[in-house]
């Protein structure tokens, strides 16, 4: 929905972990990072559910994308759950995984209403984004397959088959989805879901330099 102009050589290549309706953390984190038009930010998905301000997060991201059209927004499994709910393919999975908090944030009187631009945004999300050095994806990749050959379910929901594998795609895979107390760092993996909605922290990383920002701040953490 944005007239996207992807930067080939951004000054900073930034990735943000799972937000899950934590609008205040997102706002404060972006104040720390202070992105500019020379940077590129990749949001890794799972913007709503569980936290109190899903609608506010989507509004923030829509505005962010207008101001920084080089931004990349990836789909998470929670965005797919929401689409399945709205299209009446599967209502229960969404509701039992934090979807009721999202519905409450969109409530107007006795009903809930999703603005058209929010729905367009969710439907247009990318499944992955690839550069010369990095593959950005919400959950991970099925070992042995290139990104273009992956099943959507794996891109959105894979866990241990990806995390337990030492398969090397020749690039660093930057992902969210699996909440951890600290960023997950190996030579070929960079996990940035640090459990913001579970009372931990929301993380942004400049992936080339491995520079991290956390909100709230993460103490006693060696950045290596």
The domains found in the chain, sorted by start residue, are 13-215 (3.60.21.10)
Two tokens at 182?
Answer: 């600290």
Q: What is the mean pLDDT of residues 73-96?
A: 97
Would you call 33 helix, strand, or coil by DSSP? helix
Render pLDDT for 177-195 as a digit per residue (tens, 0 to 9): 999 999 999 999 999 999 9
Angle (deg, nearest 10), helices 116-123 and 54-67:
70
Q: What is the mean pLDDT of residues 6-29?
A: 93
CB atoms within 10 A of CB 32: 11
- Whole-number Å distance between alpha carbons of 138 and 219: 26
**What was the pLDDT predicted at 224?**
36
pTM of this structure: 0.94
**What was the pLDDT predicted at 55?**
98
Q: What is the mean pLDDT of residues 117-144?
A: 98
């Amino acid at each position: 929905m944005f007239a996207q102009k992807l930067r080939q050589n951004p000054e900073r290549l930034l990735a943000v972990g799972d937000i899950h309706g934590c609008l205040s953390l997102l706002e404060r984190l972006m104040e720390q990072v202070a992105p500019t038009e020379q940077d590129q930010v990749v949001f890794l998905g799972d913007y709503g559910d569980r936290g109190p301000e899903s609608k506010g997060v989507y509004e923030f991201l829509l505005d962010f994308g207008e101001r920084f059209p080089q931004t990349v927004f990836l789909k998470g499994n929670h965005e797919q759950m929401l689409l399945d709910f709205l299209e009446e393919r599967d209502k229960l999975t969404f509701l039992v995984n934090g979807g009721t908090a999202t519905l409450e944030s969109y409530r107007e009187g006795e009903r809930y209403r999703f603005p058209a631009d929010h729905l367009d945004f969710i439907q247009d999300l990318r499944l992955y984004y690839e550069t010369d050095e990095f593959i950005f994806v919400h959950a991970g990749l099925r070992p042995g397959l290139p990104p273009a050959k992956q099943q959507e379910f794996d891109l959105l929901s894979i866990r241990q088959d990806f995390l337990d594998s030492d398969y090397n795609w020749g690039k660093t895979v930057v992902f969210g989805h699996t909440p951890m107390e600290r960023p997950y760092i190996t030579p070929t993996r960079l996990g940035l879901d640090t459990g913001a909605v579970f009372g931990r922290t929301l993380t942004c990383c400049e992936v080339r330099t491995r520079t991290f920002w956390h909100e709230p701040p993460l103490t006693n953490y060696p950045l290596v």
